Each structure stands twice: as structure tokens, then as C-alpha cells.
Amino acid sequence: MTIRVLPDIVVAQIAAGEVVERPASVVKELVENSLDAGASHIHVQIHGGGQQRIRISDDGSGIPSEEVELAFYRHATSKLTTTDDLSRIQTLGFRGEALASIASVSRLSIVTRCTQDTSGTMLNLDGGRIIRRQEIGATIGTVITVENLFYNTPARLKFLKKENTEKRQIALFVTRYAMAYPHVRFVLEQDGREVFRSTGSGNLADVLVAAVGLDQFKNMVEVEGIETGSNGQPHIQLHGYTSVPSFSRADRNQITLFVNGRWIQDTRLSYAISQAYHTFLMTGRYPVSVLMIQIPSEEVDVNVHPTKAEVRFRDSDKVFTAVQRVVRRAVVNLAQTPAMRGGRFAGLSMDNLSHWTVDNHTPVQMGIGLRLDDSGQYTRAPLPQRQMPTVNDPTAIPEGMGKPQKPRTLPILRVVGQVGATYIVAEGPSGMYLIDQHAAHERILYEQFMDDYQRQHPMTQYALETQTITLPPDLAQLVEEYAQPLQKIGFALESFGPNTYVIRGIPAILTDSSPIDALQAILLDLEAGVKPAAKTIEDKIVTRICKQVAVKAGQILSHDEMQSLINQLERCSLPHTCPHGRPTMLHMTSEHIAREFGRLG
């Protein structure tokens, strides 16, 4: 085969594959340019998930008229000149590839004006080729519009995610930069609807309230610390917020890290934060953290990957130790100071009582709150007791109330007792059964719920006093995306401003649970995607609801409650596993027990 030099346009499109993976990559690169230009206001507008149009406006320094074309050449940058500059990079961008790469796979227009110019310059490009230039009236700053992204690379279009997925990813990028630069006012609009706005006050707390919602921010505590170097001067500065031990997640995705204003992915530092919660969190639970790390630029190498999301530290052990120590100090201080923080005390919710009603309009109290007694003193309201159905309860066996009797799938079992407030010991005709009470109850609830759902009889419990929930922009997008499945399951949600929803009704099964906590847990599961074990989105939502309300490990049950639970499990179609696939029971045959005691030869 003949060796040839590729045309410039092909080289540009190949390079674009490293920098511009998806619409969110375009937003990231352009927002970084705006921040490097010293912008105090950045406005991001998205249409069609970013593939149709992305427009980013800023009030930064702009580009001089004579340099506008030069800005779209590959490796053209104002941020470094020599290789020595790579060891002390203080800007977000420095490669000089972003604008050229974006322009090569889109139709792009730019309007820019710097302080020295009396008028602005407009440049139009199509697939990287300049097709028009003209002077235009413009304010100081830059407006870049990217349209028909990947129109000339159809293979790339095939691999784009769904529109709503791209919207969530863009919202994540914008909110992250708003956290890192709280003095900059960010506005994000998607399809003409504002989904995020930061005040630009310079206060990280203000941004976090807008980014993650007030309910989540109430469960976070401030982190701040300085690690000095050998010369006694500040070497590593850390500040941010991390969650109280009673507020955690099932993965590390909610740990957000910034180094010198740059969002990074670093599993080692995420592990350092998780380790700071040692003995405070159960295994498999992780905190929610937003941590800013300031370190001398010569101590960190950002020239590792084209996306600049990975960095290397000159002394990674020292950074690891600093992060772990500062977060640990904040968590320990919180544990040693039993003061109310953000509506939480000793891990119990202090929200006001909410009242819900079913079809007979009988109000039911939910949550744990404070009551005002006759003497004018506040006393804690009693915890709502979860009522396990008893044997004589007509709801104990799902086939009651006229439903056809389900066949028995387990032998008749007799309760012997409870081990560790977690496992039920039962005797059957063929030996002993050790039953996980939480997994078994999940299976029972799941099959009952799905039976009603299949017959299109979902039970919604409506509120006498509604609750509102404010979500991060990415989770709010999930509510819009999955509005129909949520409604089918029993949620009645109504939009009430940007990223805010009124909860007017919930699935009846959630009577004794916080509707806000349940909805947040469902959305986090949806964000992780549908796992192979879940056939449909509705199935995934129901599985999470059942996990939320099932009797927990560590809960002491009466003999009648245990027997009632087993009676219902005996009639489940798949009694041996919970909806997540975990086993509900262990069976030890009479022969095996006898063998263990040496009674069989």
C-alpha cells in the first residue's frame, strides 16, 4: 500500500475524536475557554441534546480581531509557548486543539470582541473551512454557536447516546464548573427551559444548594484545611463539603474532586475520602463529597490525557494523606458535637409531619418530627411502627379478597426463632431453613406489587399536605424522562419551578417511608441504568421501592410477624431469591444435620 500524507481536514477529524467525544465534550471545552478568558457570566443554551445546537455566551476578554481565524488552527493557543510552561499550567485549556476539533465536525459561528476593538468580528465555518467573515456590532466577550454536530461524520452519530442522556451529562459538566468557580454566574437552558442557575456570589454553599438541592445540602458539613510544606508555607489547601455519616450512597459517583479549579477523576483520592469515614459508614456505602484541592501548579501534571480529566501528582502519597486527614477531621468533629445540622439530629429526619390519605381519606402520619406539647415544649414524635401482617390479617395471604389461591412453592414451615435480629429460623419436613427477613420481605412485596401492576391496579396514596423536592439538574432530567413509568407505578408529581416538583401522591406501599428519600433513591438507581436483572424501567422502580420499605436487618420481629412473613413467602412464585437475585434462605437437610453431629455412618 502506498504511504501518503493525510489531508488537513481528515487529520482534524481524527484529532476531533480524541477531544470531542459527544456534545457534552463540546460544552466542556467551550466553557473552559470562557473561564480562561476571565468571564464572570457564562450562558449555556442547548437544543436537541446538543447535537442540533450548542450556544455558549460569555463576557470574557474576547479574541482580538486579527487573531480570530488563527484561533481555529490546530495547536494555536495563547496559554503556553515553551515546554517549560507545561510544568506550571494554570489554565484549564492549553493544547490548542479544542476549537479546531469542534469546527471540523460541525457548522460553527463565533461573534467576539475584545476591549481594544471598537466592533466585533463574526466568523462562520463549515466543517472547519471558513466561509464568511465580517465586522459586526457586539458587546465585549464571545458567543460561539455549534450546530449540526457530527453532520459530516455519520459514523459518530450512530454512537451518540439518547438525547436525555446527553442533557444529563451536559448538566453535570455545567454544575461541576459552577462549583469550582462560585464567583462566576452560570445559566443553563435546555430546549428553552432553564434548568440551572448559580448566583455568582463566590460562596460554594450557594452553588451547592442550586446544584444538588437544599435537601441534600442540609446533610453536608464544611471541610477545610491547610497542609504546610517543609518551608512552613501553605502547600496543599483543601475546602469543600462532605456528607454526614447518616447520609450516604451505594457508589462513589457522588464524590466530586477538583484540582486547581479542574474537575478530575482520581480513584485513589476517592478512596481517601471513603477511608476517612472508616467505622462511620457500613461496608458498601460511600459519602457525598465536593472537595477543592489547591496545590502549586508545578506539583501536578495535567498533560496526561486529551480530556484533561486525569492528573498526576509529584507526591501522590502526600495529597492522599492530606485529603484523608482533613475529611476525617471534619467527620470526627461532627460526631463529637451532637448539634443539629441542617435539619438532621443523630441521623433522624427533623422534617415536619406530612399527612397522606388513601381512598377512604383517612390521614396517615409519616416521618419523624417534633410536636408542640401543652407546656409549649417541643417533644419528639414517636417513630411510626411498621406493621407486619399477621396470620389472621386478611392481607397476610396475597390471594385473599377474592384472588385465586396461588400454589404453594415451599413446604409448610414452622418458626423456631430469630438470629441476630436478621435471620428467621424455621423447621420444615425436610430439615431446617435459615431465612433472610429483609430479602424474603422484598420478594413478597415485589410479587404483590407486580400482581397489582399487571392487573393495572396501582394504588396511589394522595397527600392532604403536599411536599416539594428540589433535585440536581441531572436528576430532574430523569423525572422528565421517566415521567410515564413513575406515574404508572403510583407517583403523582407536578412541576413547580426549575428542578422542583410537588409530590401529590406516592405508591401506597410507601406509606411508612419518606416520599422524598424514596424518590431520590429511585432516581439514583435510574441514573445507574437498567441492570440485566431488571426487565423494564417499571421493574427497576418497583424493585427499589420494595427494597426501601421491606423490613430491615436488625429489626426484632414477634413470633406472629415471623410466621406471617413465612406464610406469605410460601405462596411466592420465586421464593428462593429476592428481586435483586440474592438468596432468601439457606436449607440444611435433616441428613446433613445428623451427619454433622456424627449420627450417620
In this predicted structure, the answer to whether residue 520 has a pLDDT above a threshold of 60 is yes
Distance CA 116, CA 501 (A): 47
Q: Which residues of 399-435 are buried (b: 16+ CB within 10 A; e: fewer)?
A: eeeeeeeeeeebeebebeebeeebbbbbebeeebbbb
Taking residues 316-321, report their average pLDDT. 88
Taking residues 133-141, report their average pLDDT. 92
Cell of 168: 444529563
Residues with Cβ within 8 Å of residue 323, at least 6 apart in sequence:
238, 269, 272, 273, 276, 291, 293
Distance CA 390, CA 396 (A): 6
Q: Please, which pLDDT band fits residue 251 given cuts at 50, 70 and 90?
A: confident
Taking residues 544-568, report their average pLDDT. 88
Q: What three-state secondary structure class fits 289?
A: strand
Distance CA 58, CA 139 (A): 10
Return the pLDDT at 109: 94
Distance CA 114, CA 91 (A): 19
Helix (H) or strand (E) holding 269: helix 267-275
Give per-residue pLDDT as tens, 355-366: 334 333 333 333
Return the pLDDT at 518: 81
In this predicted structure, the answer to whether residue 590 has a pLDDT above a threshold of 50 is yes
In this predicted structure, the answer to whether residue 379 has a pLDDT above a threshold of 50 is no
Cell of 279: 467505622
* Residue 93 CA: distances (Å) to CA of 77, 179, 266, 307, 454: 9, 18, 19, 10, 54
Give per-residue pLDDT as tens, 539-552: 778 888 888 888 88
Q: Please, which pLDDT band fits residue 385 given cuts at 50, 70 and 90?
A: very low
Range with the lowest mean pLDDT among 14-23, 39-48, 123-132, 535-544?
Answer: 14-23
Q: How many Cβ atoms are within 10 Å of 159's Cβ, its own excluded? A: 9
Nearest Cα to 92, choosing from 143, 37, 170? Answer: 37
In this predicted structure, the answer to whether residue 111 has a pLDDT above a threshold of 90 is yes
Cell of 215: 435537601
The whole-model pTM stands at 0.68
Would you state the torsion angle of the CA atoms of residues 527, 530, 533, 535, taken in this order, to the nearest 10 degrees?
140
Distance CA 507, CA 460 (A): 5
In this predicted structure, the answer to whether residue 423 has a pLDDT above a threshold of 90 is yes
Most confident of 315-324, 502-511, 542-551: 315-324
Range with the lowest mean pLDDT among 6-20, 47-61, 504-518?
Answer: 6-20
Q: How many Cβ atoms are within 10 Å of 526's Cβ, its own excluded? A: 20
Residue with cell 407486619: 388
In this predicted structure, the answer to whether residue 2 has a pLDDT above a threshold of 50 is yes
Residue with cell 501534571: 301
Q: Hey, what CATH topology would domain 8-202 get?
A: Heat Shock Protein 90 (3.30.565)
Return the pLDDT at 291: 94
Half-sphere exposure of 460 (CA within 13 A, CB side): 14
Distance CA 556, CA 548 (A): 18
Hey, CA dihedral for 439, 445, 451, 456, is it positive or negative? negative
- Inter-residue contact 214 to 470 (CB < 8 Å): yes
Q: Which long-range contacts (CB under 8 A, 24 or more apart) does 89-92 make?
A: 89/297, 89/302, 89/303, 90/260, 90/297, 91/36, 92/32, 92/33, 92/35, 92/36, 92/261, 92/262, 92/308
Return the pLDDT at 22: 86
The one-letter code for the residue type at 361 is H
Taking residues 443-449, report their average pLDDT. 87
SS3 of 443-487: the string is HHHHHHHHHHHHCCCCCEEEEEEEEEEECCHHHHHHHHHCHHHHH
Q: Please, which pLDDT band fits residue 12 given cuts at 50, 70 and 90?
A: low
Locate the domains of the chain by residue range: 8-202, 213-336, 414-587
Written out in words, the top-level CATH class of the domain with range 414-587 is alpha beta
Domain 213-336 grouped into CATH 3.30.230.10: yes
